[in-house]
Amino acid sequence: MIADYPESEIELRDDNTVLVGGDTVVTLDASREIAGLRQLESMLEDEAAEDFRHYRTNNLVNPRTFTVVGYTGGSNALDATMKSALQMAVANYNALNLDVKFTLSFATSTSADIVVYKVSGAGGGSAGFPSGGNPYKWVQIHDGTSAYGVDVVEHVMTHEIGHTLGFRHTDYFNRSLSCGSGGNEGDGGVGANHIPGTPTGFDANSIMLSCFSAGEDGEFGANDITALNALYGGAGAPSCAGFCGGNAGTCWCDSYCAQYGDCCADKVQVCG
């Protein structure tokens, strides 16, 4: 095993990257930056059982506006479902008013911070972790994912973009929680740091779970939003401020209520 990943979940690629955990690419540059030129084997360690929280890598991106291209050239072109899903995934992030923002275009050019493109596969995708303050550039989406519908593709794309920003799987310490099988991904040579403010206990609604289901709605869970704001918090999600007299950040007064649930009760208590 490498850094606690089972051998069945490690794939050495021809471009000197390693695919681990089914959807995460570890590049040579990223591993050098994080591990100080140590070999991955030196990162072997026994991980104690963890409470179910959100986790990030050692590396994060430097907040700014990043360009995203949905690739439209040749056999790697996104299909119509993928294009719609990518628009929705980018909107998921931009709706939170984070210090990290995205602009999206569809083109055959790859001169963007993040390029999302189609590859052959049954379902899912892969991406990597940040390096040098920049997001990982290449996001692969399996062509079979579109068969699940636009919401599932939105989920997969939002998840993979999360990896490019430095988010680990929420259940990295026990993949069987969402996949039905699998163990501890371990440090992986990239770090697995708890994000303050994310709760203990199983969070079945996290978009960063290792495996997805056919019933995904493509939206962030409430704790995903907490994690994003902890790392890249900007103005935050829409609140009751200016609408019904509540304090900023106390609750939401728009469609986020219906989407995330709990804020609706808060709205009644705080805003009347």
Residue 219 CA, distance from chain mean position: 11
Check if the beta carbon of residue 37 is closer than 8 Å to that of residue 26. Answer: no
Per-residue pLDDT averaged across 121-137, rounded? 95
In angstroms, rounded to a whole number, what is the distance separating the alpha carbons of residues 137 and 139? 7
In angstroms, rounded to a whole number, what is the distance separating the alpha carbons of residues 159 and 89? 9
Give me the pLDDT at residue 53, please.
63
**pLDDT per position as a tens digit, 13-67:** 444 454 445 555 545 454 444 343 333 323 323 333 344 468 888 899 999 999 9
Task: Supply 34's token pair.
Answer: 């994080």
Structural domains for the chain: 7-230 (3.40.390.10), 238-271 (no CATH)
Please give the model's pTM, rounded to 2 decimal places.
Answer: 0.71
Check if the beta carbon of residue 52 is closer than 8 Å to that of residue 227. Answer: no
Q: Which of 11-20, 100-109, 124-133 has the lowest mean pLDDT?
A: 11-20
Give me the pLDDT at residue 24, please.
52
**pLDDT per position as a tens digit, 166-206:** 999 888 888 888 998 888 887 778 887 888 888 766 688 99
**pLDDT per position as a tens digit, 206-233:** 999 999 999 999 999 999 999 999 999 8
